[in-house]
Amino acid sequence: MPTADCRLLHHGRIMRCLTYLLLLPETLKKSKKVCKLPGRLPVCYEILTLSLTSKKKQQQQKEEEEKMAAELYPAANTNNPNLSNGTTVADTEKTKEVHVSQASSAATTPTTQQNINNNNVDPPSWQCSHPTLRERNALMFNNELMADVHFIVGPLGESQKVPAHKYVLAVGSSVFCAMFYGDLAEEESEIHIPDVEPAAFLILLKYMYSDEIDLEADTVLATLYAAKKYIVPALAKACVIFLETSLEAKNACVLLSQSRLFEEPELTQRCWEVIDAQAELALCSEGFCEIDLQTLEIILRRETLNTKEVVVFDAVMNWATAECKRQGLGPTTRNKRNVLGKALFLVRIPSMSLEEFADGAAQCDILTLEETHNVFLWYTAAKKPDLEFPLTARQGLVPQRCHRFQSSAYRSNQWRYRGRCDSIQFAVDKRIFIAGLGLYGSSGSKAEYSVKIELKRQGVILAQNLTKFVSDGSSSTFPVRFEHPVQVEQDAFYTVSAVLDGNELSYFGQEGMTEVQCGKVTFQFQCSSDSTNGTGVQGGQIPELVFYA
């Protein structure tokens, strides 16, 4: 056969073989047996194999993305049939506008759509559906995906395993940065943190991943501890603000102890304000029994506790009983003295009345016979024995008075009562404690009035007291107090009212002021709809508010 014909025949066989391989890949092995040309067919076979391998890799990548989406949104993928091809719940929301656009476009034909699908255009990933760094970081919070460290948080038996990402933690905390990337970096994949509560640690991590702060009363102290331990000042400040807003008499002593531990002077000062003004409520609370011995001694040294010393003594005995229980001891007299130590001699027993001492401290057996004998002699004898207890009474707090009238007057036909209500509304620009009201008395002679005073906020009664007072016929004001001072927050209107009952006419105020500056506190007044006896801003009863600040 001529050389040219041989070459044409050889070339034709190659082209025919390539055609079979490209169009009929499933018959590839059969075609290989038919084609006898050495060195030619294997090259074609390799080309096709590489093409098929590339498609297989694309398919595997697609499956991995679908698996990642399923891990991020496991519940959504099972419940929503529309979430396919790796599309997440967030993806469906993000792509609503795209669907509308596609529906309105007449140029997109089924063939075009089929071409797009056949060309393996990747479906939207979770990264695409969360465009901001904050959103993507938030998805990684408490997520095993790409986690390179795990924490075992909490005491043994109550611990919780928490996944995390070293880079995120190191960026948010210098402690974590040194832990993972410092000279003495941790090499272990699991790090034990037994002194932090799991709930508090998760709040810390949530803030570091997303800047979100989610505080609760039950975990805020533990969260503050975690924020201090890992030096996250913004979270610590948020915890302190939360504690200040939730501060009241029943938790003031506990928060005082914690604020000293965490070295938060502003919170400490706020605690002292509450403890001083509402000392009886604070000392009688369950929280007082939970404080440590050092905090107990600091409170007992406090000069401005606004309560009787017998209340202080009873509170100390309650604390001693609780401390014996914490130490596994019986609440015997000897054990109580041992746990109190020198704190017992910080109680100012000689400042009690003789009756209060005889009915209380003298009968509880906490004092020795010699101590009891010496205290009785101190009360009664001309030559008083030396005592180990402080002798002087506490100074307490000096009440302040806000007077809202510039003058007072009386007329023959007013001011009458007969059970009608005098009321006024007020607001302050600083937190104070309302102790009671100053009221006008009889304009004629000495007279007794029964009175019910009340403090409300938005219709809710915060305090009330039913009592009596005697006036001397002067235009002076006569204080009537609530049982305990009541905390009043700034920039909120409160309503005070007084219902008097008496036969005598009284003085009344004139030239009332809508704004009064009293020391560092500014008061604003406005009329109250509860007032049925004529009292308002310009005139009437309730000339004074008695308060601590």
pLDDT at 92: 44
Q: Is the pLDDT of residue 238 over 70?
A: yes
- The 3-state DSSP class for residue 445 equals coil
Q: Which of 102, 95, 98, 165 shows the shortest CA–CA distance to 128?
A: 95
Q: Over the chain, what is the mean pLDDT?
A: 82
| DSSP labels, 74-90 | HHHHHH-TT--TT--HH
Instruction: Kindly report whether the peptide bond that precedes residue 415 is cis, defined as omega within 30 degrees of 0.
Output: yes
DSSP states along 185-251: ----SEEEETTS-HHHHHHHHHHHHH------TTTHHHHHHHHHHTT-HHHHHHHHHHHHHT--HHH
In the predicted structure, residue 88 carries a pLDDT above the cut 50: no
pLDDT of residue 198: 95
User: 392-408 burial, b for 16+ CB within 10 Å, e for fewer?
Assistant: eebebbebbbbebbeeb
Q: What is the pLDDT of residue 468?
A: 93
Instruction: Take residue 355 and report the two structure tokens written for it.
Output: 């009756």
Q: In terms of C-beta density within 10 A (0-12 exposed, 13-18 middle, 19 or more buried), how is residue 299 classed? A: buried
Residue 187: per-residue pLDDT: 79
Helix axes 265-277, 249-262, angle to 10 degrees: 150
| Least confident segment among 120-134, 145-159, 533-547 | 120-134
Residues 539/422, Cβ–Cβ less than 8 Å: no
Measured CA to CA, the distance from residue 129 to residue 84 in angstroms comes to: 14
How is the beta sheet containing 190-193 ordered, strand by strand? 160-164, 149-153, 190-193
Q: Which helix (H) or strand (E) holds 98?
A: helix 96-104
CA–CA separation, 483 and 281 (whole Å): 10
The 10s digit of each residue's pLDDT in 417-443 is 878 899 999 999 999 999 999 999 888
How distant is the alpha carbon of residue 336 from its chain centre?
36
Local confidence band at 93 (pLDDT 50, 70, 90 cut-offs)? very low
pLDDT at 206 over 50: yes
Write down the pLDDT at residue 294.
96
Q: What is the mean pLDDT of residues 279-286?
A: 96
Residue 45 confidence (pLDDT) above 50: no
Compute the average pLDDT of residues 254-280: 94
Quick one: pLDDT at residue 82? 43
